[in-house]
């Protein structure tokens, strides 16, 4: 436990230092924020440190190493020292705000890392994929990174979130088996405190009551980090809590009752619990930063070209982290800019109003252009998996929509009534209106259209609903903290009491979720169950001989070596050597490569070739496969024996010499 605390303390100090270094730039971008964007400065630091080395490593001008990261950090310090000299000294009030916000961040980081320490295993769901991407990037000196499950090819998926994790791993010098779990805790802390900061800064323009502002901001932070939807309280009231299974709140439509229209509607608190380092989770701090920058731009009478440039840059990073978020936040930005222009006109004034509306086109075009430039290194090596758009053939029952979105729906309807009754709208009201309209569109779209992918039949619109409504949840969370305070303060005493009572029970119902999700995934939270932060240790119990061999491969073999292992289905223990070591294999998880390679034929062919190497009686065919993919080593363990019953070490020794053995697990070096 003490060692864990020291590791987390070191990691926190690194993040604290990065945020402090980039705070002068944050002050420039968020001059009107009460905290001058302090809680967003850590995300700014990660963005502005990681992208230059991302670009230079693609150009092969600067290797992706710890030395390269430190070189860029020194340059960043010099630039921010220059900016700091041009800014006034920190006022005493701002220092207090910074200390408070940093305490909130530290508490969130400690909580997130402690929970992960109860079950730090890098296994289950998407973790093999996510860690494999991260480990491949850690192994890389130059980019793009090798696909660990498709030897000879580079990763064909949005991986910038994994790159950021690999960047922090190299900068910190810690083991990636530890930093994977620290990164989950970091995303939890950055997201919760980012929503806190953004909600508070929205409220600052409408309320002078500091306690109310903090309350609204805390509500937003708690909902985004811990909250679910009304599925949990609904089923607790209906059936009791004895048999409630927390994932059901994310798998409701099509499952209860069972239908042929099964969807996914996850939310951040669920994602933090299951701890997949997937793009939709890694992108949360970036989209909060984007929304914050948009709010900073919204408050100005004239367009700030500096903020416009950063919006384009942030949008490029968002796209490389989770490509689905690109159209979402372009839509959001277009809406809030349009709302601002229409609000400035007040009444339709013909040509003048039309020109005002058209004036948003130029900044949007600049932002789109900068997005293209920022993401160009990624796009040059990426083949889109976009399969087209089609109309849905089923819709969600109204009752289920109410269960999923009823709490947010109450706040949204209250806000629309408020806007109708009180016509004197503040800038925050208009900005939140843009947030709400974006979220409503995101919830409505999967009821009309879907993006075609490999998931057909009962799951044809599942991914579309998942990616759109995940962002809708974030957006509505920010809006809700604002609405509760804004509407509550303008009502009469009786009206305020009734409104806040309803809000209290809605928030309480949403926040009951961790009582089931934490214990459901991690078991008891008692310190005696704390296991530490290393994500590989569990493998020593599950496959002790494999564990020793994987450690050997990871520590002793060249990082670019191709290591053959059994090809297997997605969401299984297959692909473990390539995932844990980052060394490419011929074929890993089949369905994943089917998605990434836009077809089943090539991954299936590779899987058959792997089988040929392990158990075909014709050794010449096996050698042809090994030569075709330049295989350096063959891994033979328990899973290989299960998958290929005719495989045995004696036959494989004819293809290479054994260089490591632990029980029945053997690593062979292929003869060239």
Give the pLDDT confidence of 52-92 residue by residue, as tens digits.
999 999 999 999 999 999 999 999 999 988 888 776 656 77
* pLDDT reported for residue 346: 67
Q: Residue 123: its pLDDT value, please? A: 94
Q: How much is the pTM?
A: 0.95
The span from the first CA to the last CA of the chain, in angstroms, equals 48
Q: What is the pLDDT of residue 155?
A: 96
Q: Which helix (H) or strand (E) holds 621?
A: helix 619-628
Q: What is the pLDDT of residues 253-291, one digit of tens each?
A: 999 999 999 999 999 999 999 999 999 999 999 999 999
Chain mean position to CA 39:
18
Q: Which residue has the tokens 């405190």?
A: 193
Distance CA 217, CA 211 (A): 10
**For residue range 459-492, what is the model confidence (pLDDT) as tens digits?**
999 999 999 999 999 999 999 999 999 999 999 8
∠ Cα 69 74 321 (to 5°): 40
pLDDT tens digits, 11-68:
999 999 999 999 999 999 999 899 999 999 999 999 999 999 999 999 999 999 999 9
Which of 427, 433, 431, 465 is closest to 446 using CA atoms? 465
Bridge pairing between strands 563-564 and 633-636: parallel
pLDDT band at 242 (very low <50, low <70, confident <90, very high): confident
**Do residues 478 and 194 touch, judged by C-beta distance below 8 A?**
no
CA dist., res. 161 & res. 280, Å (int): 9
Round to whole Å and give the CA distance between 464 and 454: 12
Task: Write the DSSP symbol of residue 247.
Answer: G
Give residue for tokens 């001058």: 36
DSSP character string of 564-617 = E---B-TTSSTTHHHHHH----S--BHHHHHHHTT-SHHHHHHHHHHHHHHH-S
Q: What angle do CA 64, 65, 70 make, to 5 degrees?
A: 110
Burial environment of residue 6 by CB neighbours within 10 A (0 to 12, 13 to 18, 19 or more)? exposed
Distance in angstroms (rounded) separating the CA atoms of residues 214 and 218: 6
3-state secondary structure of 255: strand
- Work out the pLDDT band at 352, boundaries 50, 70, 90: low
Q: Is residue 365 exposed (0-12), middle (13-18) or buried (19+ Cβ within 10 Å)?
A: exposed
Contact 385, 453 (CB under 8 A): yes
Instruction: Give residue-wise pLDDT tens across range 287-343.
Output: 999 999 999 999 988 888 899 999 999 999 999 999 999 999 999 999 999 998 887
User: What token pair was written down for 467?
Assistant: 């990616």
Strand partners for 390: 450
CA 148 to mean position of chain CA atoms: 21
Report which of 306, 352, 312, 348 is spatially closest to residue 330, judged by C-alpha positions: 312
Cβ atoms of 43 and 285 within 8 Å: the answer is: yes
Alpha-carbon distances of 667 from 84, 512, 556, 636, rounded to whole Å:
55, 49, 12, 6
Residues 6 or more apart whose Cβ sits within 8 Å of residue 380: 58
Count CB-CB contacts under 10 A for residue 68: 20
Q: Contact 27/37 with Cβ under 8 angstroms?
A: yes
Angle at 355 between CA 351 and CA 360, to 5 degrees: 160
Distance CA 238, CA 242 (A): 11
Which domains, from first to last, does the chain contain? 2-521 (no CATH), 538-670 (3.40.50)
């Amino acid at each position: 436990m003490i060692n864990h605390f020291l590791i987390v303390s070191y990691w926190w100090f690194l993040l604290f230092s990065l945020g402090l270094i980039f705070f002068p730039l944050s002050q420039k971008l968020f001059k009107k924020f009460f905290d001058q964007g302090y809680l967003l400065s850590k995300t700014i630091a990660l963005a502005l440190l990681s992208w230059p080395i991302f670009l230079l490593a693609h150009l092969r001008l600067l290797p992706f190493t710890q030395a390269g990261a430190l070189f860029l950090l020194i340059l960043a310090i010099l630039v921010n020292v220059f900016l700091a000299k041009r800014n006034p000294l920190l006022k005493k009030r701002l220092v207090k705000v910074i200390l408070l916000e940093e305490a909130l961040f530290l508490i969130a980081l400690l909580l997130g890392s402690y929970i992960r320490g109860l079950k730090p295993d890098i296994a289950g769901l998407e973790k093999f994929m996510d860690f494999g991407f991260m480990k491949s990037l850690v192994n890389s000196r130059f980019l793009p990174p090798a696909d660990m499950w498709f030897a000879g090819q580079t990763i064909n998926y949005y991986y910038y979130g994994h790159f950021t994790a690999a960047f922090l791993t190299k900068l910190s010098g810690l083991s990636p088996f530890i930093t994977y779990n620290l990164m989950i805790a970091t995303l939890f802390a950055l997201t919760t405190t980012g929503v806190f900061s953004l909600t508070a800064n929205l409220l600052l323009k409408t309320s002078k009551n500091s306690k109310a502002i903090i309350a609204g901001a805390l509500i937003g932070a708690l909902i985004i980090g811990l909250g679910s939807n009304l599925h949990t309280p609904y089923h607790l009231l209906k059936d009791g809590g004895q048999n409630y299974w927390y994932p059901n709140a994310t798998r409701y439509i099509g499952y209860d009752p069972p239908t042929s229209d099964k969807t996914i509607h996850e939310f951040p608190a669920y994602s933090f619990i299951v701890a997949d380092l997937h793009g939709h989770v890694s992108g949360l701090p970036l989209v909060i930063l984007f929304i914050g920058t948009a709010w900073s731009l919204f408050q100005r009478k004239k367009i700030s070209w500096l903020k416009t440039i950063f919006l384009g840059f942030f949008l490029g990073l968002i796209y490389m982290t989770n490509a689905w978020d690109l159209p979402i936040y372009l839509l959001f930005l277009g809406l809030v800019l349009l709302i601002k222009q229409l609000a400035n006109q007040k009444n339709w004034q013909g040509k003048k109003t039309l020109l005002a509306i058209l004036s948003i086109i130029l900044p949007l075009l600049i932002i789109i252009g900068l997005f293209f430039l920022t993401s160009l290194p990624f796009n040059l090596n990426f083949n889109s998996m976009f399969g087209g758009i089609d109309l849905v053939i089923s819709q969600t029952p109204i009752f289920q929509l109410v269960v999923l979105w009823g709490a947010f729906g109450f706040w949204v309807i209250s806000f629309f009534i408020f806007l109708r009754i009180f016509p004197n709208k503040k800038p925050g009201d208009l900005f939140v209106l843009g947030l709400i309209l974006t979220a409503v569109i995101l919830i409505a779209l999967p009821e009309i259209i879907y993006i075609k992918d490999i998931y057909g039949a009962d799951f044809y619109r599942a991914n579309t609903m998942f990616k759109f409504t995940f962002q809708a949840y974030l957006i509505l969370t920010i809006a809700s903290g604002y609405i509760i305070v804004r509407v509550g303060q303008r009502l009469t005493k009786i009206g305020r009491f009734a409104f806040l009572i309803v809000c209290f029970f809605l928030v309480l119902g949403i926040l009951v979720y961790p009582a089931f999700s934490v214990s459901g995934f991690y078991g008891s939270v008692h310190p005696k169950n704390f296991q530490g932060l290393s994500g590989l240790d569990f493998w020593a119990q599950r496959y002790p001989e494999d564990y020793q061999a994987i450690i050997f491969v990871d520590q002793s073999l060249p990082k670019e070596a191709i290591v053959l292992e059994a090809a297997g289905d997605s969401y299984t223990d297959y692909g473990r050597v390539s995932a844990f070591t980052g060394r490419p294999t011929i074929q890993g998880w089949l369905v994943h490569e089917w998605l990434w390679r836009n077809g089943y034929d090539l991954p299936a062919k590779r899987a058959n070739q792997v089988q040929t190497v392990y158990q075909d009686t014709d050794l010449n065919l096996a050698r042809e496969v090994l030569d075709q993919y330049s295989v350096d080593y063959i891994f033979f363990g328990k899973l290989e024996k299960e998958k290929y019953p005719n495989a045995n070490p004696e036959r494989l020794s004819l293809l290479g010499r054994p260089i490591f053995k632990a029980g029945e697990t053997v690593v062979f070096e292929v003869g060239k």
